[in-house]
């Protein structure tokens, strides 16, 4: 058993007051394999890439926390079966699916996603980590719901949608996360999209922005949003002119994440747009050990599928309406944890 597994086991055995959503989902999945499907602890360990000692402890904890009786139980807002199926389909490290109210199925990024994502970050972030937050309504909701984080540095990964609303948007999200963790905050007071590459380059060299950019290669956990290529659902789409939107649509854009554009197969397109943007590079995101996307709703489902196929995201918090689409979306994608660039070097 390696040190990270020992830490995870000791953390559970220390009798913490609550388990995070990823722990609950994983415990439920392992318990289902063991108690309902009759798999051995060794088989479960091989499937989840952990030691059999950790599997044994997780199963013990599942009994202690009353997750296992006759059936497997998790809090009502978490759909453990969909979560496990989605994790396996896309090869994710964590997938947490939240029940979406029937009347809100078509609403992009229901606010309860942010609450669950806040709990997940509390579980994933360790002391000394560098947490990166990209602009997005879902990450803003997540930051507002945070109530626990180990001491860590928090850095903003993108400029803001509207510089006039920075205090109520991603800048405030970075400050809020840093306040909860007691760590340093590195916000970016600049628009996400600039008129031209020269203006963007000049802003990147400004002292405060350059200081934030220095942390991009040190980020250990990133939190991002996903947008589909339509009005009101994509920040970048709404910031462009009609002519520019048409140009990128002609390239087959299906989704955007942190000002990076993707077609339906997860390939990056319209890379020239990045030259005008204040944002973390895609290659930098690909090197971040844990990239958590928060996105849900039927209107974003196809965009979520596209971004997951890019291999940039390792974990997902979504809702049942998006999850049902994702489980039926085309051929099975390659595992996300195989994070080679699908477009080549």
pLDDT tens for 192-228 read: 889 899 999 999 999 989 999 999 999 999 999 998 8
Q: Residue 9 pLDDT > 50, yes or no?
A: no
- Rounded CA separation 132/215 (Å): 9
Every domain of the chain and the residues it spans = 21-64, 78-328
CA distances from 94 to 129, 257, 310 (A): 18, 19, 16
pLDDT at 37: 87
Where does the pLDDT of residue 6 fall: very low under 50, low under 70, confident under 90, or very high at 90 and above?
very low
pLDDT at 160: 84
Q: Residue 71 pLDDT > 90, yes or no?
A: no
pLDDT at 289: 96
Burial class (CB in 10 A: 0-12, 13-18, 19+), 149: buried
Greater model confidence, 139 or 1: 139
Where does the pLDDT of residue 103 fall: very low under 50, low under 70, confident under 90, or very high at 90 and above?
low
Spatial strand order in the sheet of 130-133: 94-98, 315-319, 290-294, 221-225, 130-133, 153-156, 185-186
pLDDT at 166: 42
Highest mean pLDDT pick, 55-59, 70-74, 168-172: 55-59
Where does the pLDDT of residue 170 fall: very low under 50, low under 70, confident under 90, or very high at 90 and above?
confident
CATH top-level class of 78-328? alpha beta
Residue range 187-195: mean pLDDT, rounded: 90
75-100: per-residue pLDDT in tens? 657 899 999 999 999 999 999 999 87
Q: Residue 66 pLDDT > 90, yes or no?
A: no
Where does the pLDDT of residue 235 fall: very low under 50, low under 70, confident under 90, or very high at 90 and above?
confident
- Rounded CA separation 212/258 (Å): 15
pLDDT at 17: 45
Where does the pLDDT of residue 229 fall: very low under 50, low under 70, confident under 90, or very high at 90 and above?
confident
pLDDT at 109: 66
Residue range 33-54: mean pLDDT, rounded: 90
Cα 142–143–145 angle (5° rounding)? 65
Q: For residue 126, which phi and psi values (nearest 5 degrees)?
A: -110, 160
262-304: per-residue pLDDT in tens? 999 999 999 999 899 999 999 999 999 999 999 998 889 999 9
pLDDT at 11: 45
- Rounded CA separation 18/119 (Å): 10
pLDDT at 102: 63
Q: Which of 32-46, 65-79, 300-314 has the lowest mean pLDDT?
A: 65-79
pLDDT at 316: 97
Residue range 38-60: mean pLDDT, rounded: 91
Q: CATH number of the domain at 21-64, out of 2.40.128, 1.20.1050, 1.10.3470, 1.10.10?
A: 1.10.10
Highest mean pLDDT pick, 152-166, 260-274, 319-333: 260-274
pLDDT at 336: 67
pLDDT at 161: 72
Contact by Cβ (8 Å): 254, 228: yes
Residue range 115-122: mean pLDDT, rounded: 93
pLDDT at 237: 80
Backbone φ/ψ region at 226: left (φ over 0), alpha (ψ -120 to 50), beta:
beta
pLDDT at 291: 97
pLDDT at 171: 87
């Amino acid at each position: 058993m390696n040190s990270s597994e020992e830490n995870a086991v000791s953390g559970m055995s220390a009798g913490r007051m609550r388990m995070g959503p990823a722990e609950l989902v994983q415990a439920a999945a392992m318990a289902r394999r063991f108690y309902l499907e009759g798999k051995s602890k060794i088989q479960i360990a091989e499937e989840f890439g952990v030691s059999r000692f950790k599997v044994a402890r997780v199963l013990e904890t599942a009994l202690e926390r009353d997750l296992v009786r006759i059936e497997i139980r998790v809090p009502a807002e978490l759909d453990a079966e969909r979560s496990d199926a989605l994790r396996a389909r896309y090869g994710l490290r964590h997938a947490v699916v939240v029940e979406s109210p029937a009347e809100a199925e078509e609403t992009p990024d229901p606010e309860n996603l942010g609450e669950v994502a806040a709990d997940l970050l509390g579980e994933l972030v360790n002391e000394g980590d560098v947490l990166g937050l990209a602009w997005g309504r879902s990450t803003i909701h997540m930051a507002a719901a945070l109530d626990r984080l180990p001491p860590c540095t928090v850095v903003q990964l993108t400029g803001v949608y509207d510089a006039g609303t920075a205090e109520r948007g991603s800048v405030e999200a970075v400050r809020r996360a840093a306040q909860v963790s007691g760590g340093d905050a590195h916000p970016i007071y600049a628009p996400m999209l600039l008129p031209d590459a020269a203006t963007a380059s000049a802003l990147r060299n400004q002292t405060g922005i350059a200081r934030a950019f220095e942390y991009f290669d040190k980020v250990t956990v990133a939190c991002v949003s996903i947008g589909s290529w339509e009005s009101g659902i994509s920040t970048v789409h709404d910031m462009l002119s009609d002519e520019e939107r048409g140009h990128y649509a002609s390239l087959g854009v299906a989704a955007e994440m942190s000002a990076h554009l993707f077609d339906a197969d997860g390939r990056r397109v319209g890379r020239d747009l990045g030259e005008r943007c204040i944002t973390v590079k895609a290659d930098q995101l690909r090197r971040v050990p844990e990239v958590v996307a928060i996105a849900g709703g039927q209107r974003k489902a196809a965009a979520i599928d596209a971004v997951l196929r890019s291999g940039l995201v390792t974990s997902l918090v979504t809702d049942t309406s998006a999850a049902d689409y994702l489980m039926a979306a085309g051929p099975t994608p390659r595992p996300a944890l195989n994070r080679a660039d699908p477009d080549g070097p």
